[in-house]
Structure 1
Amino acid sequence: MVFQLNQAIGKVPPNGNPVVANRYGADPYALVFGDRVYLYMTHDALEYDGNGTIKENTYSSIRKIAVISSSDLVNWTDHGEIAVAGPDGAAKWATQSWAPAAVHKVIGGKDKFFLYFANNASGIGVLTSDSPVGPWVDPIGEAHILRSTPGVEEVTWLFDPAVLVDDDGQGYIYFGGGVPEGQFTEPGTARVMMLGEDMTSVAGTAEVIPAPFMFEDAGIHKRNGVYYYTYCSNFYDGERPEGSPPAGEIAYMTSDNPMGPWTYRETILKNPGHFFGVSGNNHHAIFQFHDEWYIAYHAQTLSKAQGIANGYRSTHLGRLFHNGDGSIQHVEADYKGVQQIKSLSPYQRVQAVTIGWSAGVMTEFEAAVGDRIVTDIGNGDWIGLSGVDFGRKGAGAFSASVICLEGGGTIELHLDEPAGLFIGELPVPAADGPENQIELKAEVNGAEGIHDLYLVFTGKTGVPLYKLVSWQFVE
């Protein structure tokens, strides 16, 4: 069959940034649990005016939090969205859900997960789950933190939580932002507060973090007994005292106590506009994974590549390095991203929504399967997986679980690039009646060692071909 390969947009091989290209994701927050990193992100979604034209992101209709995870930091599994706010959300009292923060704590011998979110800039809510991917429930049925909370009355923007569970099990929440009239130098709107043992209540009074030129985006991490509070500086365009953070950059302060006092240090990450040519707010999260430190941040790279950089943001990763004296080195944001830290095994079942790179496809929850799958598959679309280890013996066969649709077609298997070495193909029959999920298998040849793997989808043009649920190689 003659076909033309569709092109990747946003995340282009071999780059690692943005981390995914089939969805947007802003205000990233990282949770490490087991052998995986989970990224929770504000679910940016396109907004349209009355003429059907994409308009500037107003954030007003965002009621979901998107979740992806990875064990290697290049191939990411799409877990879909958490319905947080509104009548269909877990927190029905909330009208929006922005800027999540997630944390794990063992309570009563059981793993518990807590997802904090901003209800626009008027309060902070919390959901709980027994799993990092849900299902999530609202344990208190109301906001977790409001301006009636002790010490919070003067916070301009009550949002952007970050959470730390310290070595002794005590939890702390960091939040706040905004600039009171004329107070650009010392806004006084950053806060830290102790959490209750249950992580869904607060204790005592919120303390002020005197962050110079504070704007938004609380972050917290601990290393070698030092607490690092990180934040985004405001966009004041007047003169700044020497040593002050420039506009829209990620700055940090340190303390030997999670509640302070804090000492301002410097900035570590310039505004996205410096690196990618499209400016906007700056939001980050710092985390440790397998003894190395990383920073997640957002930029409008995917939407820029699509020609619609109207405030629709995507998550990126970079390495973070601490110097011997504990100071943090400057971060250089880029499209390259971070190094893959482990190979992907093709001999274990792989969810189709685990994607390194892609062209054309989307993902959605399929009720009949009970999981998220790859959809919108058209002729010339493809999925790429980075660093797949076929071993010395190599693979002998490929199997896939698919849902047949009108078109049917073929899954071609290529190594190292979409048009690279051809190792086999799997015919997918057209649906004969209602949609049904079937398992198919085909022989392959030439898949040995470590390669990038590409699943290239071919079939009739203009009709839906099939949906992909999962796949696996056998030796």
Structure 2
Amino acid sequence: MPSKFPFWLTVLALFLLPRAYAQNPFITNQFTADPTARVFNGRVYVYPSHDIRCGPGRGRSGWFCMEDYHVFSSANLTDWTDHGVIVTQNKVPWVQPDSYAMWAPDCVFRNGHYYFYFPATPRDTTGGKGFRIGVAVATQPTGPFVPQPQPIADVRGIDPNVFINKDGQAYLYWSQGNIYGAKLKDNMLELATAPQTLGELPAKGLKEGPFVFERNGTYYLTYPHVANKTERLEYATSASPLGPFTVQGVFMDESPTGCWTNHHSIIEFNRQWYLFYHHNDLSPQFDKNRSIRLDSLFFEPDGRIRKVMPTLRGVGLTAARQKNQLDRYSRLSPGGASIAFLDTANRFGGWKTVLAGPQSWVQYNGVAFGGSKLKTVTLRAVSAAGATVYIRLDGPRGPVLARVTVPSGRGWQDIKAPLTTSASGTHALFVAPQGNGAAVEIDWVRFE
């Protein structure tokens, strides 16, 4: 849908909004979870839930705590813009005030409007306890969204997902013990058919977070499932949006560090498929404060989803002139190299790369140098004894791009050094101390 604002005002607004950059997690200034990604007008919009820390009078201690929703967008999956809060709990007529239960949402476009679906705890519990699912409507993907006065009738549960078939029929899916589906009326606000249980899925273990998409005539129902102790991502396929479905298997394994939940969405963008999901990167000791991630997804020739291996590097290219966060590495030496928080008291500050041994190194892929004539590199680093760091292109035997001397000291320093060779196009950065050099910690690398 065309914007009602002049193009230059839209560009200016995007420039002035808070920014984030690709690498996992790709939002690091707040907790985010349950990302639903959608492509609108050639731009990717992500609608996650917003974890916050519970406290006295603010949610249930030790549990999930969410009071509002933000939306983020990107034209290249590298540079992300935070468009701010679009729906908040105490401004929805039917939601119980201060219930802090604004869980996983979805958003779709139809008939000139954007429909934002979200679960919450209702004020009115005469029809029974539990979550209801409501809708807020806007004429722009970033809002303003106007919540409907009542939730959708005959729907109880969480994790709404809407799929619009090629014939124009819209379907609503949600979970509450089982996964359910029903057709939606053209107004996108009411059910057109009675809910039905998608009963061909595993009977044992929690199932939630449905996300449905179609590819080459096959309908994929994807969902988190607790087969053991934590959620893994599984999928089933069908020739029809409401099944019957055939379980096909797992496409992302359980968290190796024990994050209990996962919640996801899948999109095709510029002829590549992507998986959006979450993990507790910024809160490793408390898995109710999560952060959203993004990795590429691929299909086998027979249509099966290839298992996705989570990465820290994520997707997209990082411009050489941006801060390249080496701690979101592509490869890390098995000995002497590690990642740590810059400040454990403020984990939103991100991470650092610690190169502690003579054979330690880190490699960061996908740096776009373009055709520009860059002349210097700035390395933000600290080394108690001082160190010399080599930056090479594309591996340990690649050409030396720069040699940076880090003076001894205990405080972070931004050290600028000349480039010893030119670079253009896209390359990996390979960073290592010289020979038997002293330990060094690196925050980021940037070229000018």
Q: TM-score range by the shorter chain?
A: 0.5 to 0.7
RMSD: 3.9
Alignment correspondent of 2:151 = 143
Gaps of 5+ in 2: 1-19, 122-129, 328-348, 351-365, 382-390, 392-401, 403-417, 428-448
Query: Match of 1:232?
Result: 224
How do 1:132-171 and structure 2 match up within 5 A? 132-138=141-147, 140-145=148-153, 149=154, 158-171=157-170
SS in structure 1 at match of 2:295 = strand
Equivalences, count:
328
How far off is 1:49 after superposition?
5.3
1:160–1:175 Cα contact (<8 Å) kept: yes
State the 1:57 CA deviation: 4.5
Q: Does 2:129 correspond to 1:130? A: no
Offset from partner CA, 1:114-157 (integer Å, 9 cap, x none): 1101114511111111111111002x311114xxx1xx5xx6xx
Letter of the 1:122 counterpart:
F
| 2:63 match | 58
Residue matched to 1:93: 95
Partner of residue 81, structure 2: 77
Contact residue 164 and residue 221 of structure 1 kept, 8 A:
yes
How far does residue 103 in structure 1 lie from its aligned partner after superposition?
1.0
Question: In structure 1, the residue corresponding to 2:53 is in which secondary structure?
Answer: coil
Equivalent-residue separation in structure 1 for 2:28 and 2:326 (angstroms) = 7
Q: Residues 15-414 of structure 1: matches in 2 within 5 Å?
A: 16-48=23-55, 57-60=62-65, 62-86=66-90, 89-94=91-96, 95=99, 96-105=101-110, 107=111, 110=112, 112-120=113-121, 121-138=130-147, 140-145=148-153, 149=154, 158-178=157-177, 189-210=178-199, 211-212=201-202, 213=204, 214-234=206-226, 248-272=231-255, 274=256, 277-304=257-284, 308-340=285-317, 391-392=371-372
Q: CA deviation at 1:190?
A: 1.0
**Aligned residue identity for 1:130:** T
Q: Label 1:255 to 1:393 Cα distance change in 2 as closer, same or farther (>3 A).
A: same
Matched AA of 2:173: Y
Measured in 2, the distance between the counterparts of 1:39 and 1:203 equals 27
SS across alignment from 1:287: strand
Unaligned 5+ segments in structure 1 are 1-12, 179-188, 238-246, 347-353, 360-380, 396-413, 422-444, 453-475
User: What's 1:466 paired with?
Assistant: none
Cα distance, 1:332 vs structure 2: 0.8
The letter for the 2-side match of 1:225 is G
Distance 1:130 1:448, change over 3 A: farther
Deviation at 1:227, TM superposition (A): 0.6
What is the CA distance between 1:278 and its match in structure 2?
3.5
1:349 maps to what in 2?
Answer: none
CA positional deviation for 1:391? 4.7
Highest RCO, 1 vs 2 (Cα 8 Å, sep ≥ 6)? 1
Cα distance between partner residues in 2 of 1:391 and 1:226: 42
Look up the SS of the partner of 1:301 in the other structure: coil
- SS at 2:158's partner residue? coil
> Is the contact between residue 74 and residue 356 of structure 1 (CA under 8 Å) also seen in structure 2?
no
Q: Deviations over 1:200-235 (max 9, x none)?
A: 121011121012134211111110011100111135
| Identical residues among aligned pairs (%) | 29
CA distance in 1, matches of 2:164, 2:378: 42
Secondary structure of 1:216's aligned partner: coil
Distance 2:378 2:105 in 1: 36
Query: Structure 1 residue 357: deviation in Å?
Result: 6.2
**C-alpha distance in 2, partners of 1:91/1:252?**
36
Give the Å deviation of 1:15: 7.4
**8 Å Cα contact 1:63/1:97 also seen in 2:** yes
CA contact (8 A) 1:84 1:90 kept: yes
**TM-aligned CA deviation for residue 36 of structure 1:** 1.6
Structure 1 residues 81, 317: closer, same or farther in 2, change over 3 A? same
Q: Residues of 2 paired with 1:222 and 1:159: CA distance?
A: 22
TM-score normalized with structure 1 length? 0.60
Counterpart of 1:426 in structure 2 is none
Letter in 2 for 1:102: C
Q: Is the 8 A contact 1:77 1:355 kept in 2?
A: no
Assess if the C-alpha contact under 8 Å between 2:48 and 2:105 holds in 1: yes
Deviation at 1:170, TM superposition (A): 1.4
Q: Aligned in 2, Cα 1:270/1:177: closer, same or farther, shift over 3 Å? A: farther
AA of the residue aligned to 1:286 = I
Deviation above 4 Å: which 4+ runs of structure 1? 54-57, 343-346, 354-359, 386-395, 414-421, 445-452
Verify the 8 A CA contact 2:94 2:151 in the aligned structure 1: no
Q: Deviations over 1:51-109 (max 9, x none)?
A: x9x9954234x2201221112222211122223322xx24553543210111112x1xx
Q: 1:201 to 1:14 in 2, by over 3 A?
A: closer
SS at match of 1:297: strand
> Structure 1 pair 135/14, CA: closer, same or farther in 2 (3 Å)?
closer
Secondary structure of the residue aligned to 2:193 is strand
Q: Which amino acid aligns with 2:27?
A: V
Are 2:117 and 2:136, in contact at CA under 8 Å, matched by a contact in 1?
yes
- What is residue 368 of structure 1 aligned with on the other side? none
